[in-house]
Structure 1
Amino acid sequence: MATSDDARAGGSKDLEQLDGLVIPPFSRRGFVMTSLMTGLTLATTRVEAQAIRTDETGIVAGEVRIPVGDGPMPAYRAMPQGPGPFPIVLVVEEIFGVHDYIKDICRRLAKAGYTAVAPELFARQGDVSKMTDVQEIVREVVSKTPDAQVMGDLDATAAWAAAEAKGDAGKLGITGWCRGGRTVWLYAAHSANLKAGVAWYGNFGGNRTGIQPKTAADVIPEIRAPILGLYGAADTGIPVADVEKAREAAKAAGKTVDIVIFPDAPHGFHADYRPSYRKGPAEEGWGRMLAWFRDHGVA
């Protein structure tokens, strides 16, 4: 979803309400994006001094193509050097696509010992690398991307990582930011193979549509893997009350869910290329994520 920081980049403070817009029937157009973007998204502010750049020493990293039913899907893969197999982490983008921030996250995970793969899940719906308006991205791309398509693409990515990127299919994790955080909750309800997930400020609400029929809150009783949720108390797009409701819903359903709310942290507090970045919560959240994966079979 788009949130307050995302909205400021595109000139609207209400974009969080656009999640799950009713749209015309989806028409498959093939892949609009056949390769990943270079640099950072054009749709938000870059803060040059704080953007992190992880080198490739000791790892193998670069763009790849993942075969799916209707063609090759562009993705970014980073993994340690060596024979493997390595535990797999699916990395799910924000609304901005697989840009340099998401690629760097993959390299950070590779340095920690994982095969990390970030598929371009919006590649069929539009070319977000050329879009400067957040509202356009949400309206024309995000809201037109079927959840079932996303789940299938993530399954294909996991299978590809095990077959082609020295990944261990028995040690599968997922993490995602913003819209990707929502996807983490949905994938945990979808996949029987997932060992653990970490959702960074993923929205629990939004309208339901024919191609996006359930919210993250809807699927909490159905999740099959332990989930760590990392949220900010100052996130104006995701009220703390909604986060607490999710915590209670998971407890009532008997699910293994831990939710951490960082005081004073806004939406996007991990996004080091944006003004929303908060070093303390970002680093603590990263450490908690790695510990969660270790403790729940993704290591």
Structure 2
Amino acid sequence: MQLGEAGPEAYVVRPVAPPIGSVVLCPEMYGINDYARGVCGQLAEAGYAVVAPDFYWRQARRPEPDYSAEGREAGLVLMRGLDRDELIADSTLALAAARALAPDRGAAFLGLSMGGHIALRAATALRFELAAVLYPGWTLNSALPMVGPVPPIAQSEAIAANGVHLLGLIGELDHVTPQEEWQAVGEHLTAAGVSHELVTYPGAKHGFACDARPADYDPKATADVWRRVHEALGQFL
């Protein structure tokens, strides 16, 4: 699906029955790969219409770096080319497309790693019901151009004003967002009055919910992640 007249392409999956809600899927820095498409399929099987934009479209056409060391470096190059305002523009188009697929139903953003950051950024600018973020990065630091001078959690008041409930799921050993930062995220959200639930999985690493990362994959934690995600979708959508 083309989003807008001059926007990104998106991978779209529709459920067999009329959708019970819609989800914008924001992927890891590896693009809309097999893992991301699998998540889209799982959500569609549960009854949700899913829109997964290619946020890299200004740099390359649907790139899919693999999980090798070389692929990681390629993904980092692509990610460093993202711009905060352009991400908001693409998220706006994606949300409109998702809502059009499930009129009169709620909408959520589901973000994976880099996509978790994008979902949080969207929550500072757009009104929707739920942001579910798995091992999100760059929540309270400005280490990348896409973050800009003010990271998303530093704008927690805007998230609260937009009425977005935040479900955050992270591993205890996450190297991108250490536990000290994750605790600070909770403090910011509480102070701003954001409806939220933050969960930490003991012993889990960054990317623990992705079975394409065998060194990090934690099947027990992953099962609990999807239980929580589907409960939140059912509650808020």
The letter for the 1-side match of 2:79 is: V
Query: 1:145-166: CA deviations, max 9, x gaps?
Result: 1122122212212222343xx3
Q: Which residue number in structure 1 is paired with residue 176 of structure 2?
A: 237
| TM-score between the two structures when normalised by the length of structure 1 | 0.71
User: How many pairs align?
Assistant: 227
Structure in which a larger fraction of residues adopt helix: 2
8 Å contact from structure 1 (residues 86, 168) kept in 2: no
Bigger Rg over Cα: 1
Shift of the 202–209 alpha-carbon distance from structure 1 to 2, 3 Å rule, reads closer
8 Å contact from structure 2 (residues 115, 136) kept in 1: yes
8 Å contact from structure 1 (residues 185, 220) kept in 2: no
The alpha-carbon deviation at position 85 of structure 1 amounts to 4.5
The alpha-carbon deviation at position 133 of structure 1 amounts to 3.6
Unpaired runs of 5+ residues, structure 1, are 1-64
Q: Which residue of 74, 86, 89 maps to 1:136?
A: 74
Question: Aligned runs of 1:215-226 on 2, under 5 Å?
Answer: 215-223=151-159, 224=162, 225-226=164-165
The alpha-carbon deviation at position 249 of structure 1 amounts to 1.1
* C-alpha RMSD over aligned residues: 1.9
Confirm whether residue 90 of structure 1 aligns to residue 24 of structure 2: yes
Q: Which residue number in structure 2 is paired with residue 49 of structure 1?
A: none
Q: Which residue number in structure 1 is paired with residue 218 of structure 2?
A: 278
8 Å contact from structure 1 (residues 208, 215) kept in 2: no
The alpha-carbon deviation at position 137 of structure 1 amounts to 2.5
SS state at 1:80 partner: coil
Distance, in Å, in 2 between the alignment partners of 1:284 and 1:231 is 12
Q: Which residue number in structure 2 is paired with residue 154 of structure 1?
A: 91
Question: Aligned runs of 1:1-299 on 2, under 5 Å?
Answer: 65-71=1-7, 73-82=8-17, 84-127=18-61, 128-129=63-64, 132-139=70-77, 141-163=78-100, 166-168=101-103, 170-192=105-127, 194-203=128-137, 204-207=139-142, 212-213=147-148, 214-223=150-159, 224=162, 225-275=164-214, 276-296=216-236, 298=237
The letter for the 2-side match of 1:145 is: L
8 Å contact from structure 1 (residues 226, 257) kept in 2: yes
Query: 1:28-59: CA deviations, max 9, x gaps?
Result: xxxxxxxxxxxxxxxxxxxxxxxxxxxxxxxx
SS state at 2:32 partner: coil
Shift of the 229–211 alpha-carbon distance from structure 1 to 2, 3 Å rule, reads closer
Between the two proteins, what is the percent identity of the paired residues? 23
Higher relative contact order (CA 8 A, sep 6+): 1
8 Å contact from structure 2 (residues 170, 201) kept in 1: yes
Unpaired runs of 5+ residues, structure 2, are none
The letter for the 2-side match of 1:219 is: Q
Query: 1:172-231: CA deviations, max 9, x gaps?
Result: 111111001111111111112x01110111122432676632323322232020100001
